[in-house]
Amino acid sequence: MPLHRQTEMKVTVSLYYETLCPYCANFIVNSLVKVFEKGLISIVDLRLIPWGNGWIQSDGSLSCQHGPDECLLNAIEACAINVYPDVNRHFRFVYCIERLTLEGRHNEWGSCFGEAKMGSSPVDCYNKGNGYMLERKFAGETARLNPPRRFVPWVVVDGQALQEDFQNFVSYICRAYRGSQIPEACTSLPSTIDSFEENSENSVCYAGELNNSTSFRH
């Protein structure tokens, strides 16, 4: 099959998230990483949109649910995604930062350039103001979601918002795939899929909540 045909058949998976939401970090580090296992990435066009529950002030400045550090890291990750469009490259960087977030060490994010074998171009992108422009773009895309995002992580598979069932994203990918090159990740799926809806309130950051640990719903 020609390469362009294979690309057309890929399933688009979009993750709307924010860098310091612990539930986004947990999803990226412990769940979304499955996209790179058992050949699944061969049928996936993975898009990462680091904006989440942020908002734009009347003066054009950006505010983030978990404070200035989150605004900085959202923009740095946006720059990394832009400068290194190969998902295999920028995901390693994003994964590294989100792992540090889970460990309470997000201030050590600079070490992720070495771990992901990246140069400092994302920092140059940020310092030139391009991170701000990318975040404005991501804010607009997030605002146009239909149905609207109610929380993050917010996962969309080929236009379908998974909402509370986001942890079952692999099964949605496999069902949406229309090609013939079925990866092992799809052939090895269990015959029954557990629903995550009942526990979703314990694993998301809701829009409109304050930027401290007491703002999360438990």
Q: Render pLDDT for 192-208 as a digit per residue (tens, 0 to 9).
A: 555 554 444 458 999 97
Are the C-beta atoms of 90 and 73 separated by less than 8 Å?
A: no
**Mean pLDDT of all residues in 53-74:** 97
- C-alpha 52/C-alpha 50 separation (Å) is 6
* Residue 138 parent element (H or E): helix 130-143
**Which of 18, 10, 62 shows the shortest CA–CA distance to 40?**
10
List the structure tokens of 40.
């699944």
- C-alpha 196/C-alpha 127 separation (Å) is 40
pLDDT for the residue 208: 76
pLDDT at 216 over 90: no
- My answer on whether omega of the bond before 50 falls inside 30° of 0, hence cis, is no
pLDDT at 8 over 90: no
* Residue 205 parent element (H or E): strand 205-206
pTM: 0.90
The dihedral sign for the CA sequence 79, 165, 65, 147: positive
pLDDT confidence of 5, banded at 50, 70, 90?
Answer: low
**Which of 52, 55, 62 shows the shortest CA–CA distance to 25?**
52
pLDDT confidence of 147, banded at 50, 70, 90?
Answer: very high
- C-alpha 91/C-alpha 27 separation (Å) is 13
- C-alpha 66/C-alpha 69 separation (Å) is 7
pLDDT for the residue 55: 97
Rg of the chain's alpha carbons, rounded to an integer?
17
**Mean pLDDT of all residues in 141-150:** 97
Exposed / middle / buried, residue 46 (Cβ in 10 Å: 0-12, 13-18, 19+): buried
Give the three-class secondary structure for 73.
helix
pLDDT confidence of 189, banded at 50, 70, 90?
Answer: confident
Which segments within 25-131 are labelled E, that is strand? 44-50, 55-56, 62-63
> What percent of the chain is modeled with pLDDT above 70?
86
Set out the domains of the chain in order of their start, with CATH numbers.
11-193+200-206 (3.40.30.10)
List the structure tokens of 169.
């994203």
Model confidence over 72-95: pLDDT tens digits? 999 999 999 999 999 999 999 999
